[in-house]
Structure 1
Amino acid sequence: MQRQPIPPTLGPGTRFRFTRGDWLTIAVAALTLVPFSLVRFSGLAQGHPLLISLVLGMAIIAAAFFLSWATEGLETVVPQSVALALLALIEVAPEYAFEVLLAYRGQTELAAASMTGANRLLLGLGWPLIMVVAFLSARRKGQRFTEIQLDARNAPELLFLLLASLYAFVLVVKRSFSLFDSAILIAIYVAYILTAFRQSKRRPAPAGVLTETDRRSNSAASREPPEDTDEGDEGADIGVAARLKHLPPATRTPVIILFLLAGAYVLLFGAEPFIDAVLQVARQMGVSQFILIQWVAPFLSEFPESLTAFIWAGMIVFAGKGLSNLISSKLNQWTLLIAAIPLAYSVGRGHIASLPLTAQSVDEVFLTAAQSLFGLSLLLTFRFTLRGALLLAGLFLMQFFIPVEGVHVALGWLYLALTAGFLLLNRRKLHLAELFRAGRARG
């Protein structure tokens, strides 16, 4: 198969600059800062929490885009080992802002709600949508695509996601988050970063995306992945991020700084009033504050990153890159995001303190941990199938359509039962050896 071409604006000897479409995208994002600043500092919408939440919410989405573009550009500015850590932190900065703020203010139940919502939304809808988008894009082109193939390059994410998911059950038993838990989860993520960096230096065979042919027909051909070269990676770059990475250094660095400052400005001055406005809207409408915080804030903060992954999925050949991106995000949220909560809570209290979990929060963490194990089990064959994606999405949506007390606990046990069943039925297809090798690579 012919290699995915690099956009003409990124070819050798080309004068690198933003296109008209890029400027329009940047302008739309920047324009959200105007009503944001007016609402935030002039009191213009005081007494109208719904308007405040809408204006600030749009600015937070724009901030997430600014940060996403900046993180792409950072890959060309700092060493790769540093970039791995910075990219992981900055990309989810909006979600961290919400968690840290709620924990700092002692709103522990809402902090747990936002954390569990972010994790379940990413895995329960984000992962499946990658597969569904790729499937539909292939069908429009007359192709058959029913699975995404992973390989040993994904082993570090899967290994450390497994460790973090297992440790989450410790939190369920303890019914609290402590600084000790933060240390363990941070250690898991640091070990992942070191392992991924060592693996990248060895540069094993590329992770690919294979079009699943109709197995009952020998006439259909599969789509091969792009080669693992810089050129192949650049083929996956899109929009503003693509051009930013290839601007001259004298232009690129100031633009990255401006994007980072714009994102930081919104999060610094907008996170708290946005949360307060959402809580006021919930009170006025008689809606559960827990539910709104659990799903609204994570959706806004994760939309830009997920959108990029979905665009990759629509290109079919880069669907694996999109899925890998969301797997890494899940690991980040399931380690560093949780770890940040006890830290912020202790700072807010003025002394070292454990963050207690209510009965509802314990159930939410249990369900989230069980979902993580099931989603992980679907990937241990190094194949993410359309059937698995639909099952994952269906189970996620089920919680909204069965308004029965205790449904979350029941769903959690169902996830665990399905995990055990899937692993048993596919025990000969599991790539556990690659996970063990990834673990030994830390040394």
Structure 2
Amino acid sequence: MATKLLRPIGMCVALVVPALVLRLIGAQPTPVIGLVLFGMAVVAASFVLAWAAEAAQVDISGGLAIAILAVIAVLPEYAVDLYFAYTAGSNPDYVAYAAANMTGSNRLLLGLGWSLVVLIGLAIARKRTGKTVRELTLESPYRVELGFLAIASVVAFVIPVTGQISLLFGFALLGFFVFYLWKVSRAEVGEPDLAGPAATIGALPKRVRRILVVALFVFAAAVILACAEPFAHNLITAGTQLGIDQFLLVQWLAPLASEAPEFIVAILFAVRGKGDAAIGTLISSKVNQWTLLVGSLPLAYLLGGGGGALHLDARQVAEFLLTATQTLLGVAALLALRFPRWSAWTLLGLFAVQFALPGQTARYVLAAIYAVIALAALIRNRRYILPTLAAPFRRASDDGEDEHDPTASDIAATAGR
């Protein structure tokens, strides 16, 4: 067991050491080398953080676990994005990077993450049953998380309409996130389903496990906080030297590094035939991004010396509009707690198209396409709209699958096919 655990952790530590040495001695490598070294450190620390967070579920239950794990899961991504927002308070050029990092991670999570786990989950189901499975179904309790995401996705349109993220709006989103934590903390907590290094840590004796989990938390958090600033700085400088649009580099490379562990965990769930758990995890992450992350940006901007609102230019408005319409389509397609194959391919296809059409006008065209398809999905799933929007405000005893949930019988019938 020790070998199984030491190998992956040792590999992550080896990837982290060069970056920590650079920070300790104050050396400044070339931007490209710095990007690689600090980027590797962030990714490696993110994996350690993910393993520790999963294993912690063995010892922590209820609301405390949800609160801790929610913050821990997003720390790598938030450390980079909040650095951009904080720096924007004294350097307005960084507003664009804060917006780029947020919209990129958001679209990456849904366009690539949701699509991949659904397609993998359907392929595994077909392999196990020998029958073609056309949709992935979710359990009824996931309607609560979907309800929070639905509300957040509608509220998100305030940003492109007003062209700013105000401090008041940020506090409202943070309050909604706190309500989300309180709501899901009241849900029944089952036994954690661990895999890989997390499972090995979870199987250790209680005292050893708890000490190791705390040590991994402290180590990973320290590495991420130490490397977030140089990683972000070298990312921008390297983009300039290589002739790459810094906005696009910040929008896709940084989120890909910070989201990698979460993607791998979700994919592992899907490979093991737990596609609903994979999608449920990614839905929760989307709620975190639209509430905790977006709500924190104007606060970080203010602390960095900025004003009471983070103002966006035309390009950033287009990016937020595209991100909001993509989220709306994802919610609309999932209203019946079924994720059809066509929805996965549509989200993946539109996600890929944006790289071939990077212009601002193309962003508005893609946003319109997302909106039209979302409208069609909303009309098709219209009887699930009100139950979904009401789910976050229902009593805990009503959150489960019951006669008042119009999807209960449908899900059961679909699962039996």
Q: Which amino acid aligns with 2:296?
A: A
| Matched-pair contact (CA < 8 Å) for 2:148–2:392 | no
TM-score (ref. length: structure 1): 0.84
Q: Distance in 1 between matches of 2:307 and 2:225?
A: 24
Q: Which amino acid aligns with 1:72?
A: E
Q: Distance in 2 between matches of 1:336 and 1:247?
A: 33
Asked if residue 121 in structure 1 is aligned to residue 108 in structure 2, the reply is yes
Equivalent residues in 2 for 1:378-417, closer than 5 Å: 378-417=333-372
Q: Distance in 1 between matches of 2:389 and 2:366?
A: 28
Structure 1: which 5+ runs fail to align? Answer: 1-17, 202-228
Q: Distance in 2 between matches of 1:102 and 1:415?
A: 28
**Distance apart, 1:131 and its partner CA:** 1.1
Q: Distance in 1 between matches of 2:370 and 2:354?
A: 12
Q: Distance in 1 between matches of 2:388 and 2:187?
A: 12
Per-residue displacement from partner, 1:260-309 (whole Å, max 9, x unpaired)? 12211211211111111111111111111100000011000010011011
Asked if residue 167 in structure 1 is aligned to residue 123 in structure 2, the reply is no
- The alignment yields a C-alpha RMSD, in angstroms, of 1.9
For 2:241, what is the secondary structure of its paired residue?
helix
Which of 306, 312, 331 matches 1:376? Answer: 331
Q: Hey, what does 2:10 align to over in structure 1?
A: 27
| Matched-pair contact (CA < 8 Å) for 2:335–2:381 | no
For 1:76, what is the secondary structure of its paired residue?
coil
CA 1:276–1:144: 2 relative to 1, 3 Å: same
Per-residue displacement from partner, 1:360-399 (whole Å, max 9, x unpaired)? 1111111111111000011101101111100011111111
**Distance apart, 1:74 and its partner CA:** 2.5
For 2:187, what is the secondary structure of its paired residue?
helix
CA 1:403–1:78: 2 relative to 1, 3 Å: closer
| Matched-pair contact (CA < 8 Å) for 2:97–2:247 | yes
Q: Hey, what does 2:164 align to over in structure 1?
A: 176
Asked if residue 153 in structure 1 is aligned to residue 108 in structure 2, the reply is no
For 2:157, what is the secondary structure of its paired residue?
helix
Equivalent residues in 2 for 1:119-268, closer than 5 Å: 119-141=106-128, 142-200=130-188, 230=191, 233-234=192-193, 237-268=194-225
CA 1:405–1:332: 2 relative to 1, 3 Å: closer
Q: Distance in 1 between matches of 2:120 and 2:255?
A: 21
| Matched-pair contact (CA < 8 Å) for 2:147–2:388 | no
**Distance apart, 1:412 and its partner CA:** 1.1
Asked if residue 110 in structure 1 is aligned to residue 97 in structure 2, the reply is yes
Per-residue displacement from partner, 1:337-382 (whole Å, max 9, x unpaired)? 1111111100010x75211111111111111111110000111011
Asked if residue 310 in structure 1 is aligned to residue 267 in structure 2, the reply is yes
Q: Distance in 2 between matches of 1:138 and 1:99?
A: 37
| Matched-pair contact (CA < 8 Å) for 1:60–1:270 | yes
Q: Distance in 2 between matches of 1:437 and 1:166?
A: 15
| Matched-pair contact (CA < 8 Å) for 1:163–1:188 | no
Per-residue displacement from partner, 1:400-421 (whole Å, max 9, x unpaired)? 1124441111111211111111
| Matched-pair contact (CA < 8 Å) for 2:100–2:248 | yes
Q: Which amino acid aligns with 2:259?
A: E
Asked if residue 433 in structure 1 is aligned to residue 387 in structure 2, the reply is yes
For 1:262, what is the secondary structure of its paired residue?
helix
Per-residue displacement from partner, 1:91-111 (whole Å, max 9, x unpaired)? 110111011101111111110
**Distance apart, 1:239 and its partner CA:** 1.0
**Distance apart, 1:172 and its partner CA:** 1.5
Q: Which amino acid aligns with 1:394?
A: G
Per-residue displacement from partner, 1:25-83 (whole Å, max 9, x unpaired)? 11111111221223333355x34211111111111111111111121232233341111
| Matched-pair contact (CA < 8 Å) for 1:382–1:431 | no
Asked if residue 62 in structure 1 is aligned to residue 62 in structure 2, the reply is no
Q: Which amino acid aligns with 1:269?
A: A
**Distance apart, 1:311 and its partner CA:** 0.9
Q: Hey, what does 1:223 align to over in structure 2?
A: none
Q: Hey, what does 2:74 align to over in structure 1?
A: 92
Q: Hey, what does 2:400 align to over in structure 1?
A: none
| Matched-pair contact (CA < 8 Å) for 1:195–1:438 | yes
Q: Distance in 2 between matches of 1:43 and 1:119?
A: 33
**Distance apart, 1:431 and its partner CA:** 6.4
Q: Hey, what does 2:412 align to over in structure 1?
A: none
Per-residue displacement from partner, 1:218-238 (whole Å, max 9, x unpaired)? xxxxxxxxxxx63xx43xx10
Q: Which amino acid aligns with 2:283?
A: I
Structure 2: which 5+ runs fail to align? Answer: 89-93, 398-417
User: How many residue pairs get matched?
Assistant: 391
CA 1:403–1:56: 2 relative to 1, 3 Å: closer
Q: Which amino acid aligns with 2:138?
A: L
